[in-house]
Copies of this chain bind each other. A is one copy, B any other.
Amino acid sequence: MKVLFIGFGNVARRLAEIVSADPSLIDGGLEAVGIFTRSRGSLAGPGLDLARAVDDLKEGGSFAADHRAATTLTPLEASETLDYDVLVELSPLSIEGRGEPALSHIRAALKRGRAVVTANKGPVAFAFGELQALASARNAPFLFESAVMDGAPLFNLARAGLKGCRVQAFSGILNGTTNAILAHLERGGTLAEGIAAAQAAGIAEADPSHDVDGWDGAAKTAALANVLMGADVTPFDVSRQGIGAITATEARKALDEGRRLKLVCRGRRRGSSVETSVAVEAVPCDDPFALVDAYGAIVRIETDRMHPVVIAQEGPDLNDTAYGVLNDLIEIAQGARKGTMP
């Protein structure tokens, strides 16, 4: 399997390490034909050594300009011209850019009938309908298990296990940073301390505002509404409340009343549209959502044919995200499925 990596941060490097340690995971093995980074150089073509690339980037390093595989192609040109089987898109989410530039890379790959795996929630949050139609028309797999739940098999569960069901609603706790901060407030801490702790744990971004202001949750909510419910919404359509105004006093008052403040993502059908929101809710302590602590995640799915189903993961980290990408690659390698959602 010839893979083009766009974005080669911690998740991509962990994925490379997992596959190097056990090449049998992917039928036929994984060969990197391109590695593109935003600020640390890019490689393409013969002479590209995946293990060495991982080493080169350790501890803030870059690809040497005189590397024999160094390239001046842009990521978009690479997507459009290199010979690869799968584009692994792991560049960061851009809300302001409405999913770009990842969206353009993915569109270019799918137009060429190449498979795409991404852990970036932007493309499904902003353009799932278009990308799904394109993938289907070109018979190209388009998989994104790690985009919303860090590799927990949420989309696989929905695809394989909810056949013939119509999803009526979902709810979830999907942002570990805000969840951990709210727990910190319950212990009497401040927002700033909570953010610092999440950063120290390697969970929050250097700029935590996307988490704190609910943008990450809004993007995940839009992604779930689009993928699970066939909605056509973007993160800008999601009614959005952040946690910036929540105080320790409020968090502790809720706790005294047997409730925990949680940032809850929701989607629900209203007539022919899907209503979406991200908001702080006071969840009763005997609700499974109240038990999602620190960086854990949970999603509850209501359908027209079954009692609600819940999937949860305890404390996912970048290793889980890397696994989700691996699961998608294994599926493509097995040729088990063409196209995307049924």
Residues of chain A at the chain B interface (Cβ within 8 Å): 18, 25, 145, 151-153, 156-157, 159-165, 286-288, 291, 305-317, 319-320, 323, 326-327, 330-331, 334, 336-337, 342
Contacts and interface: CB of A to CB of B under 8 A. Distances in A.
What 6 pairs between A and B have smallest CB-CB spacing? A153-B161, A156-B161, A156-B160, A160-B160, A310-B312, A163-B330
A126 B314 CA distance: 32
A305 to B, nearest CB: 5
Contact of A313 (B286, B310, B313, B342): B310
Contact of A163 (B309, B312, B327): B327
Contact of A312 (B312, B331, B337): B312
A309 B307 contact: no
Contact of A153 (B157, B313, B330): B157
B151 A306 contact: yes
Number of copies: 2
A39 B152 CA distance: 45
Given A307-B315, A311-B310, A160 B153 contact: yes
Contacts of A162: 153, 327
Contacts of A317: 307
A284 B336 CA distance: 41
Given A157-B153, A160-B157, A288-B291, A307 B336 contact: no
B308 A314 contact: yes
A310 B311 CA distance: 6
A342 B337 CA distance: 13
A164 B306 contact: no
Contacts of A311: 157, 309-312
Contacts of A336: 337, 342
Nearest to A298: B310
A179 B336 CA distance: 38
A145 B163 CA distance: 12
Contacts of A331: 160, 163
A31 to B, nearest CB: 18
B310 A314 contact: yes
Contacts of A287: 291
Contacts of A327: 161-164
Contact of A310 (B159, B310, B326): B310
B313 A309 contact: yes
A306 B323 contact: yes
A309 B308 CA distance: 17
Contacts of A156: 156-157, 160-161
Contacts of A320: 306-307
B313 A164 contact: no
A320 B327 CA distance: 28
A153 B145 CA distance: 17
